[in-house]
Every structure is written in C-alpha cells, then in structure tokens.
C-alpha cells in the first residue's frame, strides 16, 4: 500500500462520519464469489461489543451471549425468520388436544462434544432446570418457563413436556438460545461452575477452543456435525475451521477493524459509519429483531411522581420527534417505531397517531397538568422543577446520541434532562426494585419471546404492575388459537400506549458489517448469529 493510500484510509473514519448523513448509498447487498460452491476451511474474525459473562447456559443474556451459544449448542426447535418454528434437534412433535402436553421426537445419533449421547434423559435434565431450576445448585428457573410441570421420558428419543395450562409460545421458547440443550456433565455442576464457558459442553457445530477473558473466544469446527436446522443451507459440519470472536467496546473502533481488514464481520455498526464502509465495498445489513425484541423504547416509571400524571407522559412522548431522529442521526437501517411491537411482529398494530410529534400539544398538556414555565425556562409545580435523568441500556451504538436528542427535544418544552445513557452503574441503579423508581424514564429494548412480559408484569423495565395487564398477559400466554393471542395481545398493546406507559422509539435491529467474501451467516428470529453455514469465498 502506498503512503498516499494509507493516509486516505486514515482519513476515511472521520470522513465517513462527516459524509454519513448526506451520502446514503443503495442498500443492495452485493457479495463477491460464487454462492453455489461453499469453500471449506478458513478462519473468520468476528468482532462483538463486550465480553459478556457470566456464560451460564439457560440464561437470557445480552446479544453476546446468544451469539456464542447458537454456535456451540443446538435447540429442540429452530426459530427461522421466514418459516417460523422448524425441526432442529426435535425432528417432529405432537401436541395433546388440551395443548398442555408436547411430545418431541429427537433426532437419532446426536452427541455432545464430549461424546455423550444427546438423548431424552439429557433433554429432560435441561427442561427441568429451565422450568424448575435447581435450588441446591443455585440455578433459578427461567421466568419464560413459568407453568412448567414436568418432562417425562417415553423412550431414548421421545419425551413429553407438560405445562400446568396451555402455553401458546412453547415451540418458540424451545428455540431461543437460552433453551440450548447442554450436556448433563455441565448441568450437574453448581451455578458457580456453569458460569465458566470452558465448562459448557454443547452439541453445536463449533466447540470452544480457547478463551482469553475480556479479549477473545476461539471456536473450533466440530467434525462430524450433521444435525443443523432443517432450513440451513448446510446440512453438515461447519465450513470454517475456526471463528475468533473479538470484543471491542468502541463502535468506531469496531467499524475501523472492518475497514482496515482486521475483521470479517462486526456487530453494532455506528450509524454514521455505514455509508463509508459501504463505499469501501463492505456489506452493511440491518437484521430485523422485532419478532423477538420490543423496540428501543422509553418506559415511564409511573410510580415516579414526576411522570405519574398521564398528561406528562403524553407530553414527553409528543415532544420527541422520533422520525426526525431516525432520519437525521440514524440511517436507512432503522425504522421509527409505531407500537410496542416492531412492524414485522405478527402482533403489530399501527398506533403511530397516538405517538406522533406535536410540540404544541406537549406544551399544552404540561400547562394543563400544572407544570408552568419558570423564569429559567424550566417548568415547575409547587416549587418542584421538572428535571429528569435518563438511563439507557447499551445494546445500541446510538444510545448516547438518543439521550442527547432527548435533552434537546424536551428542553424545548421546558423539561430539563440529564443524559446518563452510557453510564452502566446508573442503569443498574435505575433497574433496581429498591432505587429504580427514583429514575423517571428507562430506555432500552428487550425480549418478547412470550408476549409483553417486561411491560405487562412488574419488571425492572417499568417497576410497576397493573392487574388488567397481568390478566391479559396470562390469558394471551395460555391461549390455544392465534385469534385469542391477537385479542389479548392487542388489549395490552393499546392499553400501554393509551396510558402512555411506553413510548416506542426505534424498531429493534442489529446492524452488521461484513466483508463481501463472507457468505451464509444465519440469523435466527432471536438474532443468534450462526456461522454453521458461513464460508469465506476466495
């Protein structure tokens, strides 16, 4: 490389930041090499955001957790983004007439990477820990599996899962990365040992080869693997010899890794770097997560006195011009949200009219609620100024930018905002049952594998419960028909927006950047990033 080229490459990062807003190139995915002939061999470098222990299986962790687990373990069912729940470790299933019993027929000949068989006994142990936990080992049951009664082993390859009442989301839940089937040798360890990734034995297309804490995890191809999901283009073992997962916290450095050829694929591309990377020939993909995640949203803590009045909550919702934020700060990879579900979720209802930007109405609502403008431009009521602090989780590279945007937008209607997005200890404070209600807004996205749990039940997101929501949530979950699910779900969706408990901002997506030679990366509905069918073309 000539010096001039090097200097050009050097200039590209700030340039990308400057040009990003104006020069949006086409979103077409162009990959090089032949799709028809996957190349075996090669090493892939995948750059993730942050090293995310504890690595315990059966734990709904951040994306980093799922993205590792889908490569080292398998699930009974695969959540295919196009075809829904398809066979994986279970080749077929039968459901009882009352929809409380699911009988699974396991694929034969599957082994864990320690050589032990993946049979009905092993699956039962997994389901028991998911549904009941194991107090002696320090394992808590996964809340999504509440209502689990038991698993009965019928024969070596057949088992029956029993619920106390129907669970409409059974198959979907068995496909989430947290429901990975793990070897009994791991599950018999106490929680303090299950949390170490080197102790986790799965049946997946890769095994953990080496770990350098906080720096990297190296995955090695497992020879002989031939039990991929039925929809995978690769029926056999992985093509890649190794996958090295690196952890880089800074979004611009991740993009720099891709730009400088030090990474083949990165997760969490910074919005303003997208066009620069595309111009260089890299592939930018916005992977839709709306089937498993609710949008990046503001959740109001209705028990906080500053936002206990619905008029204040509507005013805040109306005062933030979300569409302008998506357009000016984000990129074409993102869509402004219009419901507590993203646009591609089956339950989506367009509620955008209740969420639309209207600064005048916002000011009027605040006046009506008794918050009048003080001499310093900040509204106050009975001597209390309308000052709020915002906390956000870190799953989006734009979290801090959104916080800054909220400071600006709410400032224009007389609400003073302190942006603490990006401060991890503050988000922990904001999520605590004891201290969380001192923080008026919580911002972030979250899982919805079995309905609007984080909103309809008391959770760290809302820190409040409403009996109507709870009832509808339970009715939705125990429904047996899609029509009933729709009915009870829409009741919750409308109630949450009508009462301004939630202000959805941006549909959840994860933006990946990759080199054009990379083919076949598979993203499940839950956004597990699988490299089982991936290969690097020459």
Q: Which residues bind other proteins (CB under 8 A)?
A: 1, 6-7, 9-11, 13, 53-56, 59-62, 135, 138, 140-144, 191-192, 195-196, 212-216, 246-250, 252-253, 256-257, 259-262, 424-425, 428-429, 431-435, 446-447, 453-454, 457-461
Non-local CB neighbours of 267 within 8 Å, separated by 6+ positions: 46, 47, 48, 49, 63, 67, 254, 510, 511, 512, 529
- Minimum distance, C-beta of residue 351 to other proteins, in the bound complex (Å): 23
- Minimum distance, C-beta of residue 339 to other proteins, in the bound complex (Å): 20
User: DSSP readout, 386-405?
Assistant: -EEEEEE-SSSTTHHHHHHH
State the DSSP code for 455.
Answer: H
- Minimum distance, C-beta of residue 455 to other proteins, in the bound complex (Å): 10
Report the distance separating Cα 405 and Cα 401, nearest Å. 6
**Looking at beta carbons only, is 257 or 340 nearer to other proteins?**
257
**Looking at beta carbons only, is 314 or 476 nearer to other proteins?**
476
**Looking at beta carbons only, is 13 or 237 nearer to other proteins?**
13
Q: Provide the H-helix boundaries in 269-398.
A: 274-279, 310-319, 322-328, 352-355, 359-368
**Looking at beta carbons only, is 9 or 21 nearer to other proteins?**
9
- Minimum distance, C-beta of residue 436 to other proteins, in the bound complex (Å): 9
State the DSSP code for 427.
Answer: H
**Looking at beta carbons only, is 78 or 247 nearer to other proteins?**
247
**Looking at beta carbons only, is 295 or 414 nearer to other proteins?**
295
**Looking at beta carbons only, is 7 or 156 nearer to other proteins?**
7
**Looking at beta carbons only, is 366 or 448 nearer to other proteins?**
448
**Looking at beta carbons only, is 9 or 86 nearer to other proteins?**
9
**Whether 106 contacts 120, CB under 8 Å:** yes
**Whether 222 contacts 205, CB under 8 Å:** yes
**Whether 502 contacts 340, CB under 8 Å:** yes
Task: Identify the CA nearest to 471 among candidates 436, 495, 449, 448.
Answer: 495
Burial class (CB in 10 A: 0-12, 13-18, 19+), 98: exposed
- Minimum distance, C-beta of residue 169 to other proteins, in the bound complex (Å): 13
State the DSSP code for 449.
Answer: B
- Minimum distance, C-beta of residue 247 to other proteins, in the bound complex (Å): 6
- Minimum distance, C-beta of residue 264 to other proteins, in the bound complex (Å): 13
Non-local CB neighbours of 332 within 8 Å, separated by 6+ positions: 24, 27, 286
- Residue 347 tokens read as 């339950």
- Minimum distance, C-beta of residue 16 to other proteins, in the bound complex (Å): 11
User: How far, in whole angstroms, is CA 344 from its chain's centroid?
Assistant: 15
- Minimum distance, C-beta of residue 56 to other proteins, in the bound complex (Å): 6
- Minimum distance, C-beta of residue 271 to other proteins, in the bound complex (Å): 18
Give the three-state DSSP class for 426.
Answer: helix
Report the distance separating Cα 97 and Cα 95, nearest Å. 7
| CA trace torsion 202, 174, 90, 480 (10° rounding) | 170
Report the distance separating Cα 290 and Cα 526, nearest Å. 9
**Looking at beta carbons only, is 328 or 424 nearer to other proteins?**
424
């Amino acid at each position: 490389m000539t010096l001039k080229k090097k200097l050009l490459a050097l200039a590209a990062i700030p340039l990308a930041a400057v040009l990003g807003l104006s020069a949006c190139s086409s979103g077409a995915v162009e990959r090089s090499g032949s799709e028809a002939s996957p190349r075996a061999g090669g090493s892939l470098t995948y750059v993730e955001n942050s090293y995310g222990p504890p690595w315990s299986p059966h734990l709904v962790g951040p994306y980093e957790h799922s993205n590792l687990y889908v490569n080292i373990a398998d699930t009974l069912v695969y959540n295919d983004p196009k075809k829904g729940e398809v066979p994986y470790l279970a080749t077929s299933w039968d459901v009882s007439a009352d929809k409380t019993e699911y009988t699974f027929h396991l694929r034969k000949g599957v082994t864990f990477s320690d050589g032990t068989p993946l049979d009905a006994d092993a699956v039962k142990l997994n389901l028991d820990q998911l549904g009941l936990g194991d107090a002696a080992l320090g394992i808590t049951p996964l809340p999504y599996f509440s209502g689990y009664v038991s698993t009965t082993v019928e024969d070596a390859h057949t088992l029956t899962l029993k619920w106390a009442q129907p669970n409409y989301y059974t198959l979907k839940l068995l496909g989430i990365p947290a429901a990975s089937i793990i070897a009994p040798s791991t599950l018999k360890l106490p929680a303090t040992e299950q949390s170490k990734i080197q102790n986790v034995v799965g049946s997946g297309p890769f095994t953990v080869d080496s770990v350098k804490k906080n720096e990297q995890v190296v995955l090695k191809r497992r020879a002989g693997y031939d039990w991929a999901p039925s929809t995978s283009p690769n029926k056999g073992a992985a093509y890649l010899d190794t996958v090295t997962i690196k952890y880089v916290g800074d979004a611009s450095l991740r993009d720099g890794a891709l730009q400088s050829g030090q990474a083949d694929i990165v997760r969490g591309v910074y919005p303003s770097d997208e066009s620069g990377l595309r111009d260089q020939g890299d592939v930018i993909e916005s992977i839709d997560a709306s089937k498993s995640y609710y949008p990046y949203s503001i959740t109001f803590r209705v028990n906080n006195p500053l936002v206990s009045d619905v008029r204040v909550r509507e005013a805040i919702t109306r005062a933030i011009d979300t569409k302008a934020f998506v357009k000016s700060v984000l990129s074409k990879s993102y869509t402004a949200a219009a419901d507590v579900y993203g646009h591609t979720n089956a339950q989506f209802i367009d509620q955008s009219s209740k969420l639309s930007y209207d600064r005048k109405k916002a000011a009027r609502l605040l006046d009506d609620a008794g918050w009048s403008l003080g001499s310093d431009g900040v509204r106050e009521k009975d001597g209390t100024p309308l000052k709020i602090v915002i906390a956000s989780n870190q799953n989006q590279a734009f979290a801090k930018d959104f916080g800054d945007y909220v400071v600006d937008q709410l400032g224009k209607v007389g609400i003073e905002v302190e942006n603490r997005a990006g401060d991890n200890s503050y988000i922990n404070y904001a999520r605590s049952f004891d201290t969380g209600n001192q923080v008026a807004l919580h911002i972030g996205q979250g899982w919805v594998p079995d309905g609007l749990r984080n909103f309809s039940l008391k959770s760290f997101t809302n820190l409040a419960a409403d009996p109507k929501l709870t009832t509808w949530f339970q009715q939705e979950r125990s429904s047996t028909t899609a029509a009933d699910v729709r009915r009870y779900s829409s009741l919750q969706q409308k109630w949450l927006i009508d009462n301004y408990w939630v202000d959805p901002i941006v549909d959840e997506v994860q933006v990946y950047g990759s080199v054009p030679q990379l083919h076949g990366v598979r993203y499940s509905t839950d956004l597990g990033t699988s490299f089982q069918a991936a290969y690097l073309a020459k």
